[in-house]
Structure 1
Amino acid sequence: MEATSLVYYFLLVSLCIDFSQNETSAVARRHRRRMRSGGQMRSSPAGHRSPRQSRTELPAPVAMVPSIPLINIDDSVMGVFDSLIGLGGHESSYSVLPGKKGHCTANGMIMYDKAVWSPQPCITCLCSKGEVICDTTMCHPLKCPKTIIPAGECCPVCSDTASSLDPSIISLDDISEFSGDSPEPNDLDNAKVLSSARPQTEKDELLRTEVVELKDKEGHKKGEKKRKRKGKKNRQKDKARRKKKPITRKEAAEDDVQYESDEDDSTFRMPSHFPIPVPPIEAPPLPAACSALDTTVSCINAKLTQIPPISDPDLTSLDLTGNSITTISDEAFNGIPNLEWIDLSKNNITSPGIGPKAFKVLKKLKRLYLDGNMLVHIPSGLPSTLEEIKINDNHLHAIDEDGLQDLKNLVTLELEGNKLSEANVSPLAFYPLKSLSYLRLGRNKFRIIPQGLPATLEELYLENNQIEEVSEICFNHTRNINVIVLKHNKLEEHRIAPLAWINQENLESIDLSYNKLYHVPSYLPKSLLHLILIGNQIERIPGYVFGHMKPGLEYLYLSFNKLTDDGIDPVSFFGAYHSLRELFLDHNELKSVPFGIDEMRKLRFLRLNNNKIRTVSPERICRTHTSDDDVHDHSEEEENVESRLEHVHLENNYINTRQLSPHAFSCIRSYCSVVLKPQKIK
């Protein structure tokens, strides 16, 4: 009887052991399936993290610490993870989500205890007794000569074997890849022993599993698992086929494992693959003080210290006036290659701060303004398309023969307010400028007219220099010159050569104001129309000085000089009687209206104010008729009617208006045009 009882007892114990082993094997199989699914999720985008996880930031990488192998109930290795305690004893900053019955909740899904998944690339999470523990995946070093990183993966693989690897499937023999740590020798030995000890039936459990979802009448979901196993012969064929043909990502997605939660009675499906959206590349926003309108960006007084990074091929105008920009790098305009106009005036740009290729990308640039900077020489490598350059108020101290090379389309060049002179400007400096017509060199240190002026030049401005002489050869090659401005220099009439400009056929305007002239210069150009002599010390207008001009002088400005009655002859205006339109003789020392004004039939504007005139004779401005010659009277009447005087200024003289002749201004159409008040008192 006792023997029979012992037999029953041993049978009962053996049945319990078998049942326990079956249960633990089932749990192990579920863990391994979750591990496989977790490996597939490593390519999931960051947008699928749980809300609490999305608010946390990845911790900075810390020094490697010994790995802790996690052993399942059935002694199978589930994964090797870094220690949760880093240097200094600080815990991981990842969120810990509590669960029930040892499970974890992640992104609204139930994870079993010891489950492994990846919420985003390069992040691996573990469910451990109701807590979610995540850490950054580290890659172990490879010894192959060439490596590549497969799409959606974090760690590199050898390039010769990468094509045969499926990044969505993780081999159990390479579990150390989860943590990225180089496993300890003991861990490797344990993994090899455990891997070799697995029965073939456990490996077969990793084959395809299909979940069939069913709903009962009460609305609950039920899953019926159907496992399809292949025979030994089929497995061998499948293995051979996989060796020949690499597994594609599409095939791996078809092999995704789907499983259900038994305890919560709800079906849980792991998505096969999430496409990672590539965000569009957007240009950085403009600074707050900048504005954009159509094809123009304006950053005036925006307190910029560098050219803002702009990427807009349609932009044609850029205004950066009044900032604190000091440099122009070679890449400054790479994003705006179609610029036609750049204004960099009033900055702090220096010559060393401009890259040699800063303007190379600008193939359509026409206007470049660099006024008010700190340049010591003209920037090199300027585009040949330029038509206008302004570098006024800088520190330019030289222009060599290559300083303006390749600028064959340049029309306007402004270099005022620098330190240029005939000593540091090469005679060949302007030779490359085959289209230049407008040149401003005012407020420099020239003592003579610069040599080598372009033949195409039409307007030359040399005011506020120290010019003392105009030689015969200055304008020999500038046959198209139309305007010459030489005001505020040190010219005297005898230092102007007789043949300096008399033969110019297109020269119409000369400004010699504020020099050291004592009389109106002789040998003026034949084609001259405008002569400005304001602010000299002129005491005399020589006779016939305008007699050789054709079609004749139209504008003569002699204000603020020292003209007296003796300095103006009856023939001083000969040659201008039928052409002169404006005559300024104000602020001189005249005591009477000069001779010849009554002969000027086209005169419209006459200034005689601020002189010492005491009376206005009737015949000096308007001619009177003779009573005994009717025919002569008639002709004179016609001439008076033909007078075009519109404005006459005689204020600030010593005229007694009550003693004026009624015929003094008879040729003027409106007496409102005659200004007589105020007058000075003795």
Structure 2
Amino acid sequence: MQQRALLYYLLFACLCIMLAQNESYKLPRRGRRRMHYRGLRRNSLGNRRPNKQPQTKSPIPTTQLQSIPLINTDGDITETIDSLIGLDGHESSYSVLPGKEGRCFANGMIMYDKAAWSPKPCVTCLCSKGKVLCDETLCRPLSCHRTRIPEGECCPVCTDIVLTSISLRDASEFSGDSPDVTVTATQTVYTPIEGDILLKKEIELPENKKNIVKENRQRKRIKTQGKRKKQEHENNQKDEESQRRIEEEKRRAYEEEELQIEKELRKKEEESEENEHEGDEDEDQEEEDILRGDVFRMPPRFPIPEPSAEIPPLPPGCSILDNTASCINAKLTQIPPIMDAELIAIEFVGNFITSIPDDAFNGIPNLERIDLRKNNITSSGIGPQAFKVLKNLKRLYLDENALVHIPPSLPSTLDELKINENQLHAIDENSFQDLKNLVTLELEGNKLSEANVSPLAFQPLKSLSYLRLGRNKYRTIPQGLPHSIEELYLDNNQIEEITEICFNHTKNLNIIVLRHNKIEESRIAPLAWINHENLESIDLSYNKLYHVPSYLPKSLVHLILIENQIDRIPGFVFGHMKPGLEYLYLSYNKLDDYGIDPVSFYGAYHSLREIFLDHNQLKSVPLGIAEMRSLNFLRLNNNKIRSVPPERICKTRLNLENDEDDEDDESEEEHDYEDSQLEHLHLEYNYINTRDLSPYAFSCVRSYSSVILKPQKTK
């Protein structure tokens, strides 16, 4: 009975071993077909060559791959896999061949015995009885012009439009099923249809080319077998003892980590099974597409830009920021060609530009501001159509150039034009034609005068409000000023007289600056500006005035008379002003105690806020200062003042000590202290003895720290 049971057990064990052996090396039919076609397809695409390459070249050498013995569970060597890598050095597809014993640990994963994987492109590894054997693939050289490495591949492939490959009819030779089968060579041509779509066509090669292909393959096969035998001999000579030691250490490490990653391995196995199932469907679809010869799409390519005219780069020293091209002090001799419709401003300050040709701004038609200051531009160098293309130009700066005339054909959109410090010596009636939107015009530092400026020159400027004509050669106020003018600057000229008709048509005039001229108060006509209702500021500094001018505008607020020869302020000179003068500057004149009357400031007591009387010849504080209840700033420094009586700057009760019954007056004096606005008082550089000052002298000043008394002069 025991013998029979033992016999059954042995028969059952043999059956199990045979089944396991058959299952270990047998691949499913669909899997074999998929691997076969996939390897063939990769080989076909990887070996693309230009169609014109001759087929008579010697076969390209491939790397001899190591022969790896596969060990069965019973320890016998049953067969040898020549290579785990596809034909001609291409890596094989990832596959796992399950085994029973001798699992391997690699890259954090446990691989079964006889499992093959690719840890990275061009490297294929095999698990053989717990030992990891890896082989690296070398790429064959290509003779095409353009190559690329496909994603997931290790070797480059040709990217030429016309490619060659071996037909699918040669699959039998690569699979190894029938090596003696007659070879039929064909040529595969990919014809572009639309964009990246290519149409695959097979064309059978002539008989002589078939023989060449067959001969090359036979040579390659013989060479590969020789290298394979040599490699086997070298492997047998390796030290088996060192291999056992390494294997034992690896097994020990694998066993220690096996328990820790067992759960993770199970999870990955489940995920890989799902992915493998999905991959099978995708690969089957790919195989069907190839067998049908359907149209397929090549990998996407970068778009090829359409050919266009080359845009010249900016010269050295130039940059573009915030839609502004800046070339400041870049040593330019001409305006560089710029093609950028988005630019709104250019700054070419401090260069050596001499001309503005007609096509200078053709590439930048949307400019709003042009700054060409400090160059050498001449009037003859500006083309008649230089600014014609600029339909949005607002500001044009041409200061410090060599212009003798106003540039022609300026855009009607201009609202600011500056041509200061040039050589302008003539302005005719057409110079500002069509500039009806111009608001600001600056022509300072030229050679203009009433002799070379037409009386009709400014008539087209209907919107002009700001005009600067300083540092020219005018002897009289320019005629024909536009009605819209609000600010007029005529400083540093040679003006001697202001006639009654000078400002007849400028009723909107608000500011007049006439400093550094030769005006005398006797040469100012009584009706020159007295009736102007908007004229608020007049600057007559650095002239030849001896008295404060009479017949000043009724609306005057600022009067600046610095650095004249004024020695007298006539009485009631400010009496006709409404609402009243607020700022009076009389510094650096010749005023003394006799030049200021008790009624000199009549009409301005309630309005004056600042009075500058410094650098004169006053020996005492002028009368009337204490009556100015709105006064905020008083300068009396650099005079000859020796004392400050209590009642000259601030009213006190001292005058009311003998009148004890006059309570109303006393309350009024207290009210004066409360209403005082004086905050700044300068009395330095006089002859004041500060010890003799009354404690009530500055009682109306809001802060004693604002009273400047030091230093004082000595005798």
TM above 0.5? yes
Counterpart in the other structure of 2:316: 288
1:211–1:223 CA contact under 8 A, matched in 2 = no
Counterpart in the other structure of 2:603: 575
Letter matched to residue 548 of structure 1:
H
Q: CA deviation digits over 1:121-171, x for unaligned, max 9? A: xxxxxxxxxxxxxxxxxxxxxxxxxxxxxxxxxxxxxxxxxxxxxxxxxxx
Residues in 2 aligned to 1:522 and 1:264: alpha-carbon distance in whole angstroms? 120
Q: CA deviation digits over 1:440-472, x for unaligned, max 9? A: 000000000000000000000000001011111
How many Å apart are 1:349 and its aligned residue? 1.1
- Which of these residues, 671, 677, 681, is aligned with residue 644 of structure 1? 677
- Which of these residues, 466, 469, 476, is aligned with residue 494 of structure 2? 466
Map 1:562-641; keep pairs closer than 5 Å.
Answer: 562-625=590-653, 626-627=656-657, 628=659, 629-641=662-674
Larger Rg: 2
Residues in 2 aligned to 1:317 and 1:377: alpha-carbon distance in whole angstroms? 24
Counterpart in the other structure of 2:423: 395
- Which of these residues, 539, 542, 547, is aligned with residue 567 of structure 2? 539
Give the secondary-structure state (helix, strand or coil) at the position aligned to 2:665.
helix
2:186–2:203 CA contact under 8 A, matched in 1 = no
Q: 1:503 to 1:333 in 2, by over 3 A?
A: same
Counterpart in the other structure of 1:525: 553
Q: 1:473 to 1:254 in 2, by over 3 A?
A: farther
Counterpart in the other structure of 1:153: none
Give the secondary-structure state (helix, strand or coil) at the position aligned to 1:455.
coil
How many Å apart are 1:661 and its aligned residue? 1.0
Residues in 1 aligned to 2:554 and 2:380: alpha-carbon distance in whole angstroms? 48
TM-score (norm 2): 0.59
Q: 1:279 to 1:590 in 2, by over 3 A?
A: same
Residues in 2 aligned to 1:464 and 1:332: alpha-carbon distance in whole angstroms? 36
How many Å apart are 1:633 and its aligned residue? 1.3
Counterpart in the other structure of 2:458: 430
Structure 1 residue 659 and structure 2 residue 692: aligned? yes
Residues in 1 aligned to 2:582 and 2:392: alpha-carbon distance in whole angstroms? 42
Map 1:62-461; keep pairs closer than 5 Å.
Answer: 108=143, 215=170, 217-218=172-173, 223=185, 262=209, 265=213, 278-281=306-309, 283-461=311-489
Q: CA deviation digits over 1:16-62, x for unaligned, max 9? A: xxxxxxxxxxxxxxxxxxxxx99xxxxxxxxxxxxxxxxxxxxxxxx
Give the secondary-structure state (helix, strand or coil) at the position aligned to 2:396.
strand
How many Å apart are 1:292 and its aligned residue? 2.2
How many Å apart are 1:277 and its aligned residue? 6.6
Counterpart in the other structure of 1:183: none
2:187–2:202 CA contact under 8 A, matched in 1 = no
Residues in 1 aligned to 2:403 and 2:184: alpha-carbon distance in whole angstroms? 82
2:185–2:204 CA contact under 8 A, matched in 1 = no
Could you tell which deviates more after superposition, 342-351 or 514-523?
Answer: 342-351
Q: 1:669 to 1:258 in 2, by over 3 A?
A: farther
Give the secondary-structure state (helix, strand or coil) at the position aligned to 1:556.
strand
* Unaligned runs of at least 5 residues, structure 1: 1-36, 39-106, 111-118, 120-209, 227-252, 268-274
Letter matched to residue 692 of structure 2:
Q
Residues in 1 aligned to 2:430 and 2:533: alpha-carbon distance in whole angstroms? 32
Counterpart in the other structure of 2:27: none
Q: 1:290 to 1:544 in 2, by over 3 A?
A: same
* Unaligned runs of at least 5 residues, structure 2: 1-50, 53-141, 147-163, 189-198, 218-302
Counterpart in the other structure of 1:675: 708
Residues in 2 aligned to 1:637 and 1:476: alpha-carbon distance in whole angstroms? 49
How many Å apart are 1:212 and its aligned residue? 9.5
How many Å apart are 1:296 and its aligned residue? 2.0
How many Å apart are 1:259 and its aligned residue? 7.6
1:528–1:549 CA contact under 8 A, matched in 2 = yes
2:587–2:616 CA contact under 8 A, matched in 1 = yes
TM-score (norm 1): 0.62
Letter matched to residue 603 of structure 1:
L
Could you tell which deviates more after superposition, 298-307 or 425-434?
Answer: 298-307
Q: 1:478 to 1:225 in 2, by over 3 A?
A: closer
Residues in 1 aligned to 2:482 and 2:187: alpha-carbon distance in whole angstroms? 94
Could you tell which deviates more after superposition, 212-221 or 373-382?
Answer: 212-221
Residues in 2 aligned to 1:289 and 1:617: alpha-carbon distance in whole angstroms? 67
How many Å apart are 1:282 and its aligned residue? 5.2
Counterpart in the other structure of 1:511: 539
Aligned length: 449
Q: CA deviation digits over 1:383-423, x for unaligned, max 9? A: 10000001111111110000000000000000000110000
Residues in 2 aligned to 1:217 and 1:521: alpha-carbon distance in whole angstroms? 120
1:506–1:527 CA contact under 8 A, matched in 2 = yes
Give the secondary-structure state (helix, strand or coil) at the position aligned to 2:432.
coil
How many Å apart are 1:600 and its aligned residue? 0.7
Q: 1:225 to 1:398 in 2, by over 3 A?
A: closer
Give the secondary-structure state (helix, strand or coil) at the position aligned to 2:382.
coil
Identity %: 70
User: Cα RMSD between the aligned structures?
Assistant: 3.0
Letter matched to residue 546 of structure 1:
F
Give the secondary-structure state (helix, strand or coil) at the position aligned to 1:632.
helix
Residues in 1 aligned to 2:364 and 2:202: alpha-carbon distance in whole angstroms? 49
Q: CA deviation digits over 1:198-238, x for unaligned, max 9? A: xxxxxxxxxxxx99956465569964699xxxxxxxxxxxx
Counterpart in the other structure of 1:11: none
How many Å apart are 1:308 and its aligned residue? 2.3
Counterpart in the other structure of 1:69: none
Residues in 2 aligned to 1:521 and 1:571: alpha-carbon distance in whole angstroms? 16
Give the secondary-structure state (helix, strand or coil) at the position aligned to 1:583.
strand
Q: CA deviation digits over 1:354-387, x for unaligned, max 9? A: 1111111111111111111111111011110000
Q: CA deviation digits over 1:160-209, x for unaligned, max 9? A: xxxxxxxxxxxxxxxxxxxxxxxxxxxxxxxxxxxxxxxxxxxxxxxxxx
Letter matched to residue 143 of structure 2:
G
Residues in 2 aligned to 1:393 and 1:222: alpha-carbon distance in whole angstroms? 91
Give the secondary-structure state (helix, strand or coil) at the position aligned to 2:474.
coil
1:211–1:258 CA contact under 8 A, matched in 2 = no
1:211–1:259 CA contact under 8 A, matched in 2 = no
- Which of these residues, 486, 493, 498, is aligned with residue 514 of structure 2? 486
How many Å apart are 1:658 and its aligned residue? 0.6
Letter matched to residue 108 of structure 1:
S
Residues in 1 aligned to 2:354 and 2:391: alpha-carbon distance in whole angstroms? 23
2:440–2:465 CA contact under 8 A, matched in 1 = yes
Residues in 2 aligned to 1:374 and 1:488: alpha-carbon distance in whole angstroms? 25
Q: 1:463 to 1:311 in 2, by over 3 A?
A: same
Letter matched to residue 326 of structure 2:
S
Give the secondary-structure state (helix, strand or coil) at the position aligned to 1:544.
coil
How many Å apart are 1:475 and its aligned residue? 0.3
